[in-house]
Amino acid sequence: MAAGGRDYHLHTSLCGHAVGEMEEYLAAAERAGLTEVGFSDHLPQYFLPPDQRNPGLGMGEEELPRYVEKVLRLREAAAPVRLKLGAEADYVPGHEEALARILDRYPFDYVLGSVHYIDGWGFDNPALIDGYSRRDIGRLYEQYFSLLQAAARTGLFDVMAHPDLIKKFGYRPAGDITPLYEVTARIFAEAGVCVEVNTAGLRVPARELYPAPGFLAACRRRGVPVTLGSDAHRPDQVGLGLADALRLVRDSGFGEIASFSGRKMELVKI
Ligand code: ZN
Ligand code: FE
Ligand code: FE
């Protein structure tokens, strides 16, 4: 898989809803022939008071330094796979400073920015799926994309993760959403963020990579770089679907993908 063999979206048991230790994910990466991987486990739920945080949705505050140390320590053992220190951070408006303080404290290679909440509703949580029946789907897509645009504009994130996650359970608006893709791609370009092609979409009712081909094409036209991720929550998901992701990326006209070190991006040919 060579240069395309990069999986920048791996979770671990620390986040409370993934299984497997880092060593198992790294062994799976080597077996899959990946050249570069990054852990991007869910940061603590910094946007909630400590007593309201759900240990099943993000690591504990006290676990974060240990997470960082372990990734850094495993770097040498990971060879020939190159290992990056990433994180997946929720975007919740009004809590930017708290997140900035966390991100400044550690030597992350990259930070994935994710919208998982709309007005406090965890819309990608299977336990809260009934929320869709109480809402207008077209309006929901507008809210989702405006949060995603705001997230990109904060400058806190390097990559916008699973950028049309709102389609996860297969709820699609009746109207044309091309304008949302176009505006969002333009804002990504202005903000200097990458777009993630995330294969988890293939494994949920949406049955489609995140983002949709039309959204990725809009990003390509605007010059937004791309990263790849499986969003593995189990070691056997490392690299899963990456060949499909790479095919869509190439078919969309990309000749390069992004690689990160110390939050600096470099483009590598695919
Ligand atoms: Zn997760
Ligand atoms: Fe996510
Ligand atoms: Fe994730």
- pLDDT tens profile 192-209: 999 999 999 999 999 999
- pLDDT tens profile 105-147: 999 999 999 999 999 999 999 999 999 999 999 999 999 999 9
| Model pLDDT, residue 3 | 64
Ligand of minimum distance to the alpha carbon of 17 = 1
CB 74 within 8 A of CB 90: no
- pLDDT tens profile 47-92: 999 999 999 999 999 999 999 999 999 998 899 999 999 999 999 9
Two structure tokens written together for 36: 């570069």
Distance (Å) from CA 89 to ligand 2 centroid: 8
Distance (Å) from CA 231 to ligand 2 centroid: 7
> What domains sit in the chain, N to C, each tagged with a CATH number?
2-269 (3.20.20.140)
Ligand of minimum distance to the alpha carbon of 116 = 2
Going by pLDDT thresholds of 50, 70 and 90, the confidence category of residue 20 is very high
| CA dist., res. 19 & res. 2, Å (int) | 27
User: CB neighbours (10 Å) of residue 187?
Assistant: 21
Distance (Å) from CA 114 to ligand 2 centroid: 6
Distance (Å) from CA 218 to ligand 3 centroid: 23
Residues that place a CB less than 5 A from ion ligand 3: 88, 231
Two structure tokens written together for 211: 């983002």
Distance (Å) from CA 52 to ligand 1 centroid: 18
